[in-house]
């Protein structure tokens, strides 16, 4: 029976989203700080899944409780998938979009495809798995919109950037929203199986 999960983050926004999605399952989600853990493992994996599992394992080993951890980033086709797992370190916040636009000057529309990717890893005493979500779009030619964070002002989905959407609109189509839906489905199956035992 899962009644409590530690999320390997102290990010209030991520915690809120995960709490909302898992509350129908009666699962309490606590932050890594609330679990009394202060670890920051080297995220040296080559994929989002590897990095998510590195974070989940570190917190699981420290707490012995079920843990979820996520890793996400932006992959740009023209840049061979960069910045990818290095999205957070690509440039300081506030300079990420301008640096990306400067790498994409004069690149024609049909070569500007990109995706946001998010993988969530889960681990407990008897299983571990990862689920992923993707949001497909392309990189615009300028920054637009005031909402969101990171690369949102240059990532176009449909005819708007993610920074021109409300948080609610973005959650419906985002990589993180898709991964969270997949996580909910997996955990629901697990909770039901445990109840049948
Ligand atoms: P993390 O997995 O939360 O550490 O995210 C890695 C990096 O990817 C962040 O620092 C952002 O720059 C970028 N990123 C991830 N998700 C999003 C998003 O929804 N919008 C904009 N940037 C994002």
- Least Cα distance to 16 among 33, 29, 6 occurs for 29
Residue 56: predicted pLDDT: 97
Residue 147: predicted pLDDT: 93
How far is ligand 1, taken at its centre, from the CA of residue 118, in Å? 9
> Residue 73 in contact with residue 84, Cβ under 8 Å?
yes
How far is ligand 1, taken at its centre, from the CA of residue 196, in Å? 38
Find the catalytic residue in 3, 42, 71, 93.
Answer: 71
In b/e form, how buried is each residue of 154-192, taking b as 16+ CB within 10 angstroms?
bbbbeebbbbbbeeeebbebbbbbbbbebbbebbeebbe
Residue 127: predicted pLDDT: 93
Residue 47: predicted pLDDT: 97
How far is ligand 1, taken at its centre, from the CA of residue 186, in Å? 24
Residue 1: predicted pLDDT: 80
Residue 80: predicted pLDDT: 98
How far is ligand 1, taken at its centre, from the CA of residue 193, in Å? 34
Residue 90: predicted pLDDT: 97
Pocket of ligand 1 (CB under 6 A): 70-74, 87-88, 96, 116, 148-152, 162, 174
Which ligand 1 atom is the nearest neighbour of the CA of 14? Answer: 3
Q: Which of 9, 94, 151, 174 to mutate to test the pocket of ligand 1 (most atoms within 8 A of CB)?
A: 151
Q: Does residue 106 carry a catalytic annotation?
A: no
Q: Give the residue ranges of the chain where pLDDT is below 50.
A: none
> Residue 35 in contact with residue 63, Cβ under 8 Å?
yes
Residue 73: predicted pLDDT: 97
Q: Report how far residue 126's alpha carbon sits from residue 5's, in angstroms, rounded to the nearest whole number.
A: 14
Which ligand 1 atom is the nearest neighbour of the CA of 11? Answer: 3
């Amino acid at each position: 029976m899962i009644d409590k999960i530690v999320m390997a983050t102290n990010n209030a926004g991520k915690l809120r989203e995960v709490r909302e999605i898992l509350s129908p399952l009666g699962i309490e989600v606590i932050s890594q700080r609330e679990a009394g853990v202060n670890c920051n493992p080297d995220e040296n994996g080559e994929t989002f899944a590897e990095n998510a599992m590195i974070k989940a394992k570190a917190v699981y080993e420290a707490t012995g409780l079920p843990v979820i951890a996520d890793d996400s980033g932006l992959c740009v086709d023209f840049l061979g998938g960069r910045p990818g797992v290095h999205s957070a370190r690509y440039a300081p916040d506030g300079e990420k979009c301008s640096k990306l636009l400067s790498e994409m000057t004069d690149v024609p529309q049909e070569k500007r495809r990109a995706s946001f990717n998010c993988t969530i890893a889960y681990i407990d005493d008897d299983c571990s798995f990862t689920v992923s979500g993707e949001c497909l779009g392309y990189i615009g030619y300028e920054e637009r919109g005031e909402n969101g964070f990171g690369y949102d002002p240059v990532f176009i989905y449909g005819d708007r950037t993610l920074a021109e959407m409300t948080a609610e609109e973005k959650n419906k189509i985002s990589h993180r929203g898709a991964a969270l839906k997949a996580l909910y489905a997996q955990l629901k199956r697990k909770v039901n199986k445990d109840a049948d035992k």
